[in-house]
Structure 1
């Protein structure tokens, strides 16, 4: 045995992604004394600038946006109690089809082996017991999310480590609820046909071009296919505050519009698909660390 603490590593694409899909588990496990490591792959430079200026508009400075978003990311980590923040600082690739997808230095243009090698070094250093990232489609088709998935899975292959590995997901039942809630806040939104879940991406860029990039069947999973349901109700306030720390992107963070109380009612469960396990813990499970403690 070793005195090394149990460790969770979450690999995310942009500043603010850590709060949306995993803010609850990061806060919960930090409170339980587990070391929480966040790896953020891009600088977020394709986010909104001061005053809501959009990428490509006059006055949008990606370097200044990246600097601002780094400060917000650090504030979010403080709120969630994250013990270690690592940033790979690749250039934000932007949404699918943006010219920034092809820019030199963009994460989407980075060879998978290069990003994976850097991440593998971090894995060897922190030796995580649990690793969380996105599925093959980056949950909803964002290039940087897909790339984060690719480098994470490749990095795992480069190491001798055998952590439990999870991909973030959402139950289809919850996606339907989000579709209904979005229509409350956006009365001009059309009714879904035929799949309500296709209208919600459940990420910071919630109402965006990326909805068109993922087929309905690729967003979320049927409830009975989800392996892991983690109750983070007690930490939903921290999760909300972590999202709010990314104030410069507030226009894009749909969840902030519903207020903390409603947010807590809807965002108290975080769900995952377990894709690697050496513990033999039975599924469905209620704890990412089932079989490890």
Structure 2
């Protein structure tokens, strides 16, 4: 019988691939260090864009079936990262990808066509209670999810933030759903983030190298998209540079969503592990722990 790891991390993400983009290196590092890593994915990403021409028929607006395909992609990604505890919120297929459209201001919004069982339309208490069950079983000290805007406005990211926040609150109430196990208070909650100064430096190096297509239209000295965070708001950085190859392999496993000539790989090829190997976080709940030379925690479990 396997022993329960002393330190346990729970991540709550909206679609397959979100986890590898945001915290792939952190997940791989913590698994390698013997810490518990549990991933909860809220939808199968059925309405995602299909970037593989021969799989175009899987698109929601065509024959459909993308969700089942992405189920295989995330299974492979988790294998590459070493994560053995992956779950679907409420079970696979319980909540459907809500879809999205682009607002004129450059962020995501809900699309015109919303499926009946879309995650965006989910009853918050019901969805959060599915997470309560996981929290009380796993008993994580740390949880990672999105900020209140879901990084860039995707309705499923926003809903994942709400479900994670409410689920954590309900899980800590002793008299709430005693049938789901003993109450558990998560000590620290983080929101995934990207460093503005790192992003500007990366963009500057790309532009100086003559690359004008990666993150096209984004100026190193101009306004940055909402998923980029001011450095003073950051609380932690996890150095996963030793695991960046595993992260890139996991990204490549999400082949319908991420191309190897896309921005993630362009940045990685040009700048090695300096961009995607360091993953940043904002502290949303809990007491900050000791900090490293950059004035940031270097471990999400710092101080626990």
The equivalent residue for 1:112 is: 124
The equivalent residue for 2:23 is: 22
Q: What residue ranges of structure 1 are gaps of 5+ in the alignment?
A: 199-217
In the TM superposition, what is the alpha-carbon distance from 1:47 to its structure 2 partner? 1.7
Give the number of equivalent residue pairs: 267
Determine whether 1:168 maps to 2:168.
no
Q: 1:149 aligns with which of 154, 161, 165?
A: 161
Determine whether 1:31 maps to 2:32.
yes
Determine whether 1:99 maps to 2:112.
yes
Q: 2:280 aligns with which of 260, 271, 275?
A: 271
Preserved CA contact (<8 Å) 2:119 2:156: yes
The equivalent residue for 1:222 is: 230
SS at match of 1:48: coil
Determine whether 1:129 maps to 2:130.
no
Preserved CA contact (<8 Å) 2:200 2:221: no
Give the distance between the partners of 2:302 and 2:218, measured in 1 at CA. Answer: 40
Preserved CA contact (<8 Å) 1:168 1:272: yes
In the TM superposition, what is the alpha-carbon distance from 1:264 to its structure 2 partner? 2.1
What's the RMSD between the two structures over aligned residues? 2.6
Equivalences for residues 181-196 of structure 1 within 5 A = 181=206, 184=211, 186=213, 189-190=216-217, 192=219, 195-196=222-223
In the TM superposition, what is the alpha-carbon distance from 1:188 to its structure 2 partner? 10
Residue deviations 1:205-237 (CA, integer Å, cap 9, x gap): xxxxxxxxxxxxx43222122110111110100
TM, length-normalised to structure 2? 0.79
Preserved CA contact (<8 Å) 2:58 2:66: no
Q: 1:61 aligns with which of 40, 60, 63?
A: 63
Residue deviations 1:36-66 (CA, integer Å, cap 9, x gap): 10000011101234526388786x333x111
Preserved CA contact (<8 Å) 1:237 1:260: no
In the TM superposition, what is the alpha-carbon distance from 1:258 to its structure 2 partner? 4.5
Preserved CA contact (<8 Å) 1:48 1:65: no
SS at match of 1:61: coil
Could you say if the C-alpha distance between residues 157 and 234 of structure 1 is closer, same or farther in structure 2, counting changes exceeding 3 Å? same
In the TM superposition, what is the alpha-carbon distance from 1:193 to its structure 2 partner? 9.3
In the TM superposition, what is the alpha-carbon distance from 1:170 to its structure 2 partner? 1.0
More helix per residue: 1 or 2? 1
In the TM superposition, what is the alpha-carbon distance from 1:267 to its structure 2 partner? 1.3
Determine whether 1:235 maps to 2:240.
no
The equivalent residue for 1:82 is: 83
Preserved CA contact (<8 Å) 2:119 2:159: yes
The equivalent residue for 2:176 is: none
In the TM superposition, what is the alpha-carbon distance from 1:106 to its structure 2 partner? 0.5
The equivalent residue for 2:14 is: 13
Residue deviations 1:180-209 (CA, integer Å, cap 9, x gap): 4488251894464973423xxxxxxxxxxx
Could you say if the C-alpha distance between residues 68 and 55 of structure 1 is closer, same or farther in structure 2, counting changes exceeding 3 Å? closer
Give the distance between the partners of 1:135 and 1:158, measured in 2 at CA. Answer: 19
Could you say if the C-alpha distance between residues 53 and 34 of structure 1 is closer, same or farther in structure 2, counting changes exceeding 3 Å? same
Determine whether 1:197 maps to 2:224.
yes
SS at match of 2:256: helix
